[in-house]
């Protein structure tokens, strides 16, 4: 399979290594310094694009590929206010767009555990839920996309919560889920959800030991998405 890498930072390099180890060919490695190289690529020779760039580049990168009917697998966070436009473009061009805030199978199981626990806790008024996420210092956005996915599920399940806020940006409110974001090297990613009361605490957490789980998941999705159409997610891939 011929893969175009849109974004060639640490994640892009690991994705490229894993893809090549699985017998795939990398037709281009695009970053901020060589984006003009896109004009030299033949879209008909590209089976799928894997996009792990930066928030300010994601929309343009994804649009470039979708406009050329190249399926896109994206893991960039911090740009999702423009995702509806990408979804519409995907349907118009009759190709495929796959977005996940995290491609790790373990994290996606954690998403399900998080939603289940939130459903159990929705009527437990003595517990206050908070979240903490820890990533490496090169991560530009805060909170992480994974933390936002976790927070949205909690808000869906607990009617008393209206939205989430970064803890450093807002005063504590009973209607807001406070998220603390920390940037500490070399942490690849830790997410902790806590329900705290005067009597006890309930806590669930997921800690990634390296980026390889994310990268392998992205390559597996790229293998799966070929010849598919529509806007897809990890629920489709994992058949949740």
Tokens of 4: 């175009």
List the one residue out of 99, 101, 103, 96 whose CA is nearest residue 46: 96
CA distance 42 to 36: 13
CA distance 197 to 216: 39
Q: Which residues are catalytic?
A: 135, 139
Q: H-type helices in 31-144, by residue range?
A: 55-67, 83-93, 105-121
Q: Crossing angle of helices 105-121/212-225, nearest 10°?
A: 100
3-state secondary structure of 75: coil
Tokens of 126: 């003595």
Phi first, then psi, for residue 9 (nearest 5°) are -85, -150
């Amino acid at each position: 399979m011929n893969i175009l890498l849109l974004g060639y930072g640490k994640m892009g390099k690991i994705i490229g290594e894993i893809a090549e180890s699985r017998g795939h060919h990398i037709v281009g490695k695009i970053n901020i310094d060589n984006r003009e190289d896109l004009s030299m690529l033949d879209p008909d020779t590209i089976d799928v694009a894997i996009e792990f760039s930066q928030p300010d580049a994601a929309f343009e990168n994804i649009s470039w590929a979708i406009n050329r009917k190249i399926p896109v697998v994206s893991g960039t966070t911090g740009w999702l206010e423009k995702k509806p436009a990408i979804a519409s473009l995907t349907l118009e061009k009759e190709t495929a767009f796959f977005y996940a805030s995290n491609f790790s199978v373990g994290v996606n199981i954690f998403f399900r555990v998080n939603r289940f626990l939130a459903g159990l806790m929705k009527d437990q008024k003595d517990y206050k839920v908070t979240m903490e996420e820890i990533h490496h210092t090169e991560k530009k956005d805060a909170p992480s996309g994974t933390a936002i996915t976790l927070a949205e599920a909690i808000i869906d399940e607990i009617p008393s919560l209206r939205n989430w806020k970064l803890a450093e940006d807002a005063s504590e409110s009973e209607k807001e889920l406070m998220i603390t974001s920390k940037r500490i090297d070399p942490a690849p990613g830790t997410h902790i959800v806590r329900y705290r009361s005067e009597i006890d605490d309930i806590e669930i957490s997921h800690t990634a030991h390296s980026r390889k789980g994310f990268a392998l998941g992205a390559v597996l999705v790229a293998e799966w998405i070929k010849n598919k159409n529509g806007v897809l997610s990890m629920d489709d891939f994992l058949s949740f």
